[in-house]
Structure formats: C-alpha cells, structure tokens
Structure 1
Amino acid sequence: MRKIINDADNVVSEMMEGFTGAYSRYFRKHPEVNAILSRQKREDKVALVIGGGSGHEPMFGGFVGKGLADAAACGNIFASPDPNTIYEAAKAVDSGKGVLFVYGCYAGDNLNFDMGEEFLRDDGIRTAHVRVRDDVASAPKERMEDRRGIAGDVFVVKTAGAACDAGLSLEEVVRVTEKARDHTRTVGVATAPAQLPGVDKPIFELGEDEIEYGMGLHGERGVLRTAWQPADVLAEKMYAQIKDDTDLREGDEVCVLVNGLGSTTITELAIVYRKIKKLLDQDGIRVYDADLNNYCTSQEMGGFSVTFFQLDEELKGYYDSPCWCPYYAKGELTERACAAGEEDRCTEEAEQGDETRKDPGKDAPAAAEPERERKGALEELSAEDARRMLVYIADKIIEKKPYLTEIDSAIGDGDHGIGMAGGMKKAKEALEKMTGEKNVYAVFEAAGKAMLMSMGGASGVIFGSLYLAGAKGMEPKPVITAEDLARMEEKSLRAIQERGKAEVGDKTMVDALSPAADAMKASCGQGLLPMLKAAEAAAAQGVEDTKKYVAKFGRAKSLMERAVGYQDAGATSVWLILQGMREYVEG
C-alpha cells in the first residue's frame, strides 16, 4: 500500500507540524520534543498529560483541549514516547498542583512514563498515573493489570479532564479517573491489517474471509481467528463478552462507543450499534449517550471495537462536563441518546433545543414562584428552606440565560449564560433529590458540587465554590441564622480569591461578592432579610462599578480600555443569586 508521505523517518514530525498548523488557534507544538500543548494554559489545577505511540489519530494529540488533556506526548508510529518527551510535555503544562498521566497499559508506555515521572519528581513536581486497561480480550479478570488500553481511552481521558478542570486535588483526580477506568470495558475485531509508513508489507496477514477477534491496536494477536461473520453475529458475541466481564444489571446506564479502527465507515459502525442497542434494550440497560466515530485508530486497519462506560451519578457529572477539541465535544449543545420508550421525550427536547438555537434571545419560561413552608419573611433557614431557596435561584438564573449571554457577548465569548444555566440545571437536579435532608450545609454543598462538576471552565470552579466552599467542613446544623450565612459567604469569598487570585477592581465576580460579603458581615445582627437586602444592594453597586474597570482576567483581559463601559457577567450572576436569596426570604 502506498501512503501519502515524504520520508518515512519524518512522518511523525511532519504530521505534528501540519496538525498544529491547522489548529494553531488551539494547539502548539513543544519547541523541543514531539508533544502537543494546549494554547489555553489553565493555572491552579492538576495538569493532565496523555500520550502513546502515533498512528492512532486522533488519539492522543487530538484529545488536547478544554475539559480534556493539557498536553499529549507523542512517540513514533506505534511506539511509546521517550522519557524526555514525557518529561518536557509535563513541565510545559505543570502549574504547581501536580501532573496526572493517562495512557494505555503497554510495556513500552509503562516503562517510559515511569521514567518520565521519576525525572519530574526529582524536580519536585508531584505526579501520578492511571493506566487504561479496558480490553477484556487481552487478559482474564484475575489479571486485570495485564490488560491493554484501547478505545476506552476516550472515556477515561474525558473523565480525567473534567476532574482536573473541576479543581480537584491530585489524589481526588486519581480516584475519579481510576473509577472511570474500572467502569470501562472494550472488545475489538480486525477485518483487515494495517501497514506502517515505509514498510513494504502489512503488520500481520489476514485472509479475505477471516476476522481476528480481540485484536490489539498495534496488530497484537487476538484471542480467536475465525471466518467472516455478519455484523449482528459479531455484535452479539462482543456484547456477551463485555456483559460477562461487568456487573451490569437491569436499570443501569452506560455510554456506548462503537469505534472504527481506521478504514471502517460510519455506515458499518451504525449497523453494529443498531444491534448493540437492541441487546441493551432487551436487558433493560439504558443508553445514556452513544458515539460512532474513529477516535482510536490503527492507521488504516479495518475493523471496530465496542466500548461500554458504566455510569453512576458521580461519573455522569464528569461525563456531562463541557469539553471541546477539534475531534471531540460534549456539553451544553450536545444531546444524549434516547432509552427505549423515550423517543417522544427526546423529540420534544430536541425541538425545544432547536428553538433556543434559532433565537438565543428567546424568552425562557418565567421562574416559578417560591415554594415556602411558612408565610412572611424568614428569620432563619432550615435545610428544607435552603433547598427550596436554591431551587428558586436555579430557576431564576436559567430564566436569565439570554440576559447573561448578551452581557458576556459584549466583551467575552458569550458562554457565561450557557454555563450558568447548565450548572444551575445540574444543581436543581441534585437538590430535587435531597428532600428530607436535615443539615443545611449539606444542601449548599450538594448544589455547589453539582455546579462545579458540570459547568467546566473557570466559572464552574468559581461559582461552584460560591456554595460549596462556604459550607464545606462546617458542623452540621438543622437551621442557620443570618450570622451563619454571613460567615459562609465570607468563607466562600476567601476561597474564591485564593483560587482565582482576583481582587476588587479586576472586573470579575469578586467585584460584586466582596462588597456583598462585607455588607452581610456588617448587618447580620439586624436579621436575615435586612442583611440580604444590604447584600443585594452592595452587589448591585459592585456590578455597576465593573463598568469602570479594565479587565484583569478572562477573555476581556485582551480588550484593555475597550472593556470599560461594560458590566461583568460574573458579577451580574452574583447579584442575581443574592437577589434570589432576598426574594425567597422575603416571600
């Protein structure tokens, strides 16, 4: 087979030059080694570095981006990157919170990444790794550590990227990523061999009427060579093997990836998925999301793999967290698959989504009137009061999505309204499951954690912390007073400033939150409603003041003086949240 190359020795370097040139808005090549780095370097978070041999594109370099990896260390075709490439890639993206490596479990990768980690630790950089081992055909369950990593990389990298962007510690990122790895299973089949650039024959031989079942990504021998079989027969066999290797039961939810190995068409992948979906429906297992694509390839190898990613509520939160790179995206504008019997619901949701996309300024339904257990102004907040108040605030922010989008579009990238509405939707879902909760602080923590894990970007961490940081670590209480709420907001402000480094005058949400926290501290002795009125007024003035400032953070930073005259979207959201608190308490 003739390949479209120049010199076989320069395939990887020339590929990377072309790749980073085509997507120069998003990536850059490391100046010294074959590593791809995100241009949007995010500080104050665990750095995620992925990598492996080239030839599997778009994995690994194509999965660098927002909510995904910060860097990819790329080796030669089907060969692990060397320790220096791994070391330099990680050094380039480390921000002081540690580095997590995610890669497939192969001897060469294991040795080289281990050595790269040693070099980094010698420099005082904390590291950890998670080896993907989803290939159920490559070793039995009792030797799970010997299994290869194949297309399951997609789900593990997605989860790890979301956990890193959520601001979790290195230890927590490792825990979440290992959980994702252990909930991922894959089986693959090869229908035609691949050929390395510069080599005059394929990496293995396969007859026209033969299939290699359980083939590895580099042409490693599978578990069975068999005669050609129809798609439904292969799908049934693969489904049975994956299901036998898991604890999937009726009522469980999975994400499904049918991944092409290089030359398999979407038509063929869709035919396979059609059968997989029928089998899942028969067993009562719901498809939360599905994907048909060539993400983890082996040059032009023919064949496909089927991957199941078994979800729980925690993993679902990270999976739904927004991410984007030129080859992979999840988040606000993507939809999920319909479970059996839900087609009408999905059609209705899709039509509603179409209307929103046609007219971004279209008025959303008005927020529901506050549901209250008691009439009149509240003097304290029970756990149920707090739950209902935060649901009311969520509805209010969702209603204001077009307004926040318009404000952010003036000097930002226009996604603040989308992010806030998405985060509040997740917070509302979490809160609606908390009826009967007796600890007020647990209510705030649940809402904040749901926002933090679902919103992505800086807003997710900052606005999740608005609820979460103030409540975290507090002694459980069935009722809180004005003084308690004031202490919470002061604690949240400190955490947000420590994480984001913003001060009053930087044109951020701190411009509204800081004066509001000061007002709460000064007036909490007067009672809950007077305190919240003072906080709302202080936040409103803070929003107005942002019009005078030059932005020090975010997309507006590059506008310099041109940002003067426009209010900050984050500060506006803080004001709306405090306004919602006051409205609920006042009744």
Structure 2
Amino acid sequence: MTIKTKKLINAPDDIIPEFIEGLVGAWPDLLTVEGPTGRAVVARNGPRDGKVGIVIGGGSGHEPAFAGYVGRGLADAAAVGNVFASPSPQQILDAGRAADGGAGVVFLYGNYTGDVLNFTMAAEELAGEGTPVRHVAVTDDIASAPFARREERRGVAGDFFVFKCAGAAADLGEPLEQVEALARLANEKCRSMGVALGACSLPQTGTPNFEIGPEDMEIGMGIHGEPGMRRVPLASADAVVDILMEPILAELELHNGDSVAVLVNGLGATTQLELFVLFRRVHHILEEKGIHIHARWVGEYATSLEMAGASVTILKLDDTLTRLLDHPCRTPALTVATEPAPQASAKRSVRQVQAKKTAVKQDHTLLQTAGSITPKRFRSMMANVAAAIREKRDWLSELDGVIGDGDHGVTMDIGWTAVSAALSELEANATISETCDVIAQAFLTAVGASSGPLYASAFQSAGAAVSERLNLDGPAMAAWVKGMGDGILSRGGAKPGDKTMLDAWVPAGEAAVLAAGEGADENAVLQAATDAARAGRNETATFESRRGRSAKLGARSLGHIDPGAASAALILAAMLET
C-alpha cells in the first residue's frame, strides 16, 4: 500500500505564490516582491546605489532558505523556484534587476545542474543589459564528490555561511571583485556532512521520495530529498556526529588554537531536543582538540521539507571571515546584533532596463511545403505531449524518487502546462519554427530546474533546424528530432552514457536521420525515433549516473531507468500517436 503524507496546503500548484504572500505579509517591514514573475523577494532597505547587489536563490522546500535570508546586511533579493527546482532565468532576472545598485551583482546558489544553468543564463542576459555580474556556486558537501573533484560538490547548509559573508562584504561597501573573492573564500573554508533518518514528500505527489527501514539511516544525503551516499544501520547521536565530523576535521585541517563557526542544521522533522544533543557532541569534539567556537547556530536553516535528519557545517575562520560573520544583519531567519550598521546613503535609483528586440516574422511564401506535418498538426502533437506528461506525471516522479529528488514528473508537467497555455494564445498562422520558440520560452519561464534551460535549448535548436520549412516531411522530421538532442548537448555538458535524457534523444536523432536517408516518410521517421528513444531509455538502467543529482549515488543508481530519458521517450511516443 502506498503511504500518503499529510500537508497543510491548499492546491499544490498554488503553494509557492501563497508561501511568498504569507512570508511578505509576516515581514512587511523587511520584505517586498518585485518584478513581473512574482518570484523575486526583495529587501525593502537592502538594495541601494553604489552597493554590490547580492542575489541568492534556489528551489523552495528549504525554508528558511532562501528568501528568509533577504534583508539589510545579507541578501538584497532571492529568486524563489518551485519545490526542489531552480528558479527560471526570468525569475532570477527579476531579483537581479531589483538588487542592482550600479556596482554590479553577485549571484550565489548551490552547485546543482539546474541552478548553474538557470543562473548562468540569467547572468548572461543581465550582463547584456550592462550590469556586471559574478556568480559563485556553493560546494560545501563533502559526501558528494572526493576532494580532488571538489568543484563538483553540492551546496547544502554551507549556503548559510557563504551568503552571510558575501552579504556583509557588500554591505561594508566592498567592490564587486572583492565581494566575489570573499564569497569564494567562505566557500573554500566551509565543509558539511549530513544524515537522513527518513524521506520527505513533494506537495504534488504526497508520497515519500525514497524508502528507508526503521533501523537504517542515510549518510551524506543532500537537501533535495534524495538518498545519501550510503545506507548504514541506525546509530546513536554521538556515533553519528563522529561519522560526520571526521571528514570535516580532516579536510579543514583544524588544529589546536583554530577558530570556527558551527551550524547544526535540522532538515525539517528533527526536534530541537535532538539537534542540541548533536551540538553537544560537536562541542565536545572541538573542545578536546583545542578548537575555539567563535559562533554557533542550532536549528533549521536549510531544510528538505519534512525530512528527518540533520547536518553539521563548520566554517574555519580567519580575521577577515570573522569580521564578516560578526557584521550586523536583519532578516526573517537571521539577525546578528540589534541593528545593521548605519550607512552613508540608502538612496535607490529606478533602474532602466533595455527593451527586448522583437522577433522578425517569417515570410511563409519562401518556406518549403512538402510533408504532411503542418503547423496545425504540429501544435496538435504538442498538445498530446502535454496530455501524456500529465497522465504519467506521478510515474515519472516515482522514477526520479529512486535516484533523484522525486520531482521530475511534477517539473515536466509544470512546463507542458505552461506550453499548453502559450499555444492557446499563439497566432493561427505561426510556423513550426515560431511555435518551437514559443514552447522554448514557455518552458524556460515556467520550469527553471535543469529541464527548463535544456528543453528551451532543445526546442530552439529543433526550430532552427526546420526554419526553412512550413510543413515537415521525412528529412525535415529527422532534422527536428536531431535538433532536439543537439540543443541539449550544446547547453547541458552531458553526453550519451551519462544516464540522462540524452540517452534517449541522441539515439532517437540518429535513428531518425538513418530512416530519412533510406527514404522513409515523416511517420516512419518518427516511428524509428520513438523506438530508438525507448531502447535508449531502457538501456539507462545499465548505466551508472555521471551527471545531475543521481551522479552522487554511484553504483546505487544501477538497475533504475533515468526519468529524463523516460520523459523523452514519452514525448516522441505522444507525437507519433497524434
């Protein structure tokens, strides 16, 4: 029997805007919302002329991160994504524009594929508007990659220290390059390890992301509800802290006389009673080694919905980091001292944003008309894809829950729901290429996560591949399918064999091109692509993950098909069915 969890929510699709409304309503003196997406939470007295803007962000479900750290002396704005999904570039742009005081902006986020893709795209656009941008991905999680590949590590509760230090540097008037350098210094001196005792559940699914026995625990889990690096028998609090602290102490090379800051962080369902027991052992270990605790925080600072468990984060201090950590700030989740230090000026000018160039309409008289897949039929195919994704949403999320954070079906459904809405407003004579551009923008704006930029690039590439066509015949259909895979390859950095959606899209493109070369019509080309995508999807069960959140699982990812490859095969099958 499937266990269903209980949550005090209204409609799951409304949870993020309702959360933001409640947060801002509870802290009206500190927070406001700016920008057309409604997802940029901004400090009322944070952004100001001449100060470097600090923008943080990521998926929801980690409260008080990220919006809880917006306020004077810390972050100027936070971009709020869907549950466990990165904010979209447009949502990040809203936050970046709000934080811009003319001295540049620093983006800070956890090192996850979706966040890296979306923040990078937003940084490129913001820089194109004339705003200097730097971005730092936090990589404090020891368990997620060995020291030699520490640039691949995830950002977990260490976000807390990196955000605090960078926010203080900006509030003190440091220039852009120095704020970036100090954020990187805090990241370099910060290490975390975590343990999970139970799974969490997404609001849309209401089922636990993974199963764990009553006598087991997961060592080295992240903050997205995913399993840890290894499963071991449940141990005492002291034994757990010993396991977590050993690699932290070794990597930071802590010695007698060193000074540190400590964060013992609950993941959402761990009591204060337990957290202080954990801190007790951390304190004993450091005291025995002659290491001074300069500052300590115990509580919920970077959660994973209702996951049971905790993490320990240590920041090794020097004089510079100590000064930044002690600098006053006032936010909903963190107050240091009573009031932020007085500033010479709090003036904030109205920011002017350059108007976007309008797309040039295609001349239909110059387009090739051979083939039975007309623009109208293509839109019907896309509508059928949206319906198929909605029908299989929970199945896709279940696949993702085994090796990821359990939100892939939800994320794809959000994207295709946005596509359906965009297509309903599309001009009747829009070409297939123009339709693909609309789909790309709808996906990018609605989804965020890694799927947003990847499918936006895919549809842009596929549309460009058939830009000279009005209708699609066999070769054009093959070019479109291959264009989807090419777009993903150009944006994501993964390759076939990494256990991603590419393991379905690339063989689909190859099979489509081969079929078209043999004279197959558009229907037969799409059939060949669909068959190849399904075979590629099934083959991912034999691969060990090398990209995304599941890459941290190593051999534990074997035997499970990749949810991204599953949704890719589903898209092509729905197109063929139409």
TM-score range relative to shorter protein: 0.5 to 0.7
Distance (whole Å) between structure 2 residues aligned to residue 89 and residue 262 of structure 1: 26
How far does the alpha carbon of each residue in 1:382-406 deviate from its partner, in whole angstroms, 9 at most, with x for none?
xxxxxxxxxxxxxxxxxxxxxxxxx
1:267 aligns with 2:273: yes
1:13 aligns with 2:20: no
| Alignment partners' CA distance in 2, 1:319 and 1:211 | 33
The whole-number CA distance in structure 1 between the counterparts of 2:23 and 2:335 is: 18
Separation in 2, partners of 1:51, 1:457:
26
Residue identity matched to 1:456: A
Q: CA 1:116/1:178 → structure 2, altered by over 3 Å: closer, same or farther?
A: same
Kept in 2, the 8 Å contact 1:52–1:75? The answer is yes
Measure the CA separation in 2 of the matches of 1:203 and 1:456: 44
Corresponding residue of 2:170 = 164
Selected match of 1:287 from 287, 293, 301: 293
1:117 partner letter: A
Superposed displacement of residue 253, structure 1? 0.4
Is the aligned partner of 1:106 residue 2:128? no
Matched, 1:32 2:36: yes
User: 1:44-123 to 2 correspondence within 5 Å?
Assistant: 44-123=50-129
- Name which of structure 1's ranges 146-155 and 201-210 shifts more when overlaid on structure 2: 201-210
**Following TM superposition, by how much is the alpha carbon of 1:20 offset from its aligned partner in structure 2, in angstroms?**
0.9
Do the aligned partners of 1:133 and 1:149 also contact (CA within 8 Å) in 2?
A: yes
Measure the CA separation in 2 of the matches of 1:218 and 1:31.
27
- Show CA shifts across 1:524-571 (max 9, x none): xxxxxxxxxxxxxxxxxxxxxxxxxxxxxxxxxxxxxxxxxxxxxxxx
The amino acid that maps onto 1:32 is P
**CA contact 1:36–1:72 (8 Å) conserved in 2:** yes
Matching residue's letter, 1:269:
L
Looking at structure 1, the residues matched to 150 and 99 of structure 2 have their Cα atoms a distance apart, in angstroms, of 31
Partner-residue secondary structure (3-state), 1:245: helix
Cα contact 1:66–1:457 (8 A) shared by 2: no
Match of residue 200, structure 2, among 191, 194, 197: 194
Higher relative CO (Cα under 8 Å, sequence separation at least 6) belongs to 2
Cα pair 2:35 2:94 within 8 Å, conserved: no
**Which residue number corresponds to residue 359 of structure 2?**
none
Q: Is the 8 A contact 1:185 1:308 kept in 2?
A: yes
2:191–2:248 Cα contact (<8 Å) kept: yes
For the residues of structure 2 that align with 1:288 and 1:31, how far apart are their CA atoms?
Answer: 39
Matched residue, 1:173? 179
Cα separation, 2, equivalents of 1:38 and 1:82 = 20
Give the aligned partner of residue 341 of structure 2. 456
TM-score (norm 2): 0.58
Is residue 235 of structure 1 aligned with residue 246 of structure 2?
no
C-alpha distance in 1, partners of 2:292/2:181? 25
Alignment partners' CA distance in 2, 1:137 and 1:83: 29
Shift of 1:216: 0.8
CA contact (8 A) 1:210 1:225 kept: yes
Q: What is the identity, as a one-letter code, of the residue corresponding to 1:169?
A: P
Deviation per CA, 1:148-201, whole angstroms, max 9, x where unpaired?
000011111000110000111100101111101101000000011100002031
Quick one: distance in 1 between partners of 2:201 and 2:346?
Answer: 49
**Counterpart in the other structure of 1:150:** 156
Letter of the 1:12 partner, please give it: I
2:115 aligned counterpart, secondary structure: helix
Alpha-carbon distance, 1:31 to partner: 4.4
Look up the match of 1:485.
none
Instruction: Give distance in 2, aligned partners of 1:198 and 1:130.
Output: 31
User: 1:502-541 counterparts in 2 under 5 A?
Assistant: none
* Residues 209 and 226, structure 2, Cα contact 8 Å, conserved in 1: no
SS at match of 1:57: coil
Preserved contact between residue 105 and residue 131 of structure 1 (Cα < 8 Å): yes
Match of 1:136 among 127, 138, 142: 142
TM-score, normalization: structure 1? 0.57
- Distance in 1 of aligned mates of 2:292 and 2:90: 44
Which residue does 2:323 correspond to in 1? Answer: 317
2:304: which partner in 1? 298
AA partner of residue 251 (structure 2):
D
Identify the residue that residue 3 of structure 1 maps to in structure 2. 7
Shift of 1:26: 1.0
1:216-243 Cα deviation digits (max 9, x unpaired) = 1112332210111000000111111211
Work out the CA distance in 2 between the residues paired with 1:282 and 1:131.
33
The answer to whether the 8 A contact 2:165-2:186 is kept is: yes
SS in 2 for 1:197: coil
SS of equivalent to 1:145: helix
1:224 aligns with 2:230: yes
CA distance in 2, matches of 1:231, 1:101: 36
SS in 1 for 2:142: coil
Aligned positions of 1:323-342 closer than 5 A: 323-331=329-337
Q: Distance in 2 between matches of 1:457 and 1:321?
A: 12
* Distance (whole Å) between structure 2 residues aligned to residue 315 and residue 323 of structure 1: 15
Following superposition, the deviation at residue 500 of structure 1 comes to: 8.1
**Counterpart Cα distance in 2 of 1:9 and 1:457:** 41
Q: State the 1:250 CA deviation.
A: 1.1
Contact kept, 8 Å, 1:104 with 1:149, in 2: the verdict is yes
Cα distance in 2 for residues equivalent to 1:94 and 1:140 = 36
Provide structure 2 residue ranges, at least 5 long, that are not aligned to the other structure.
348-578
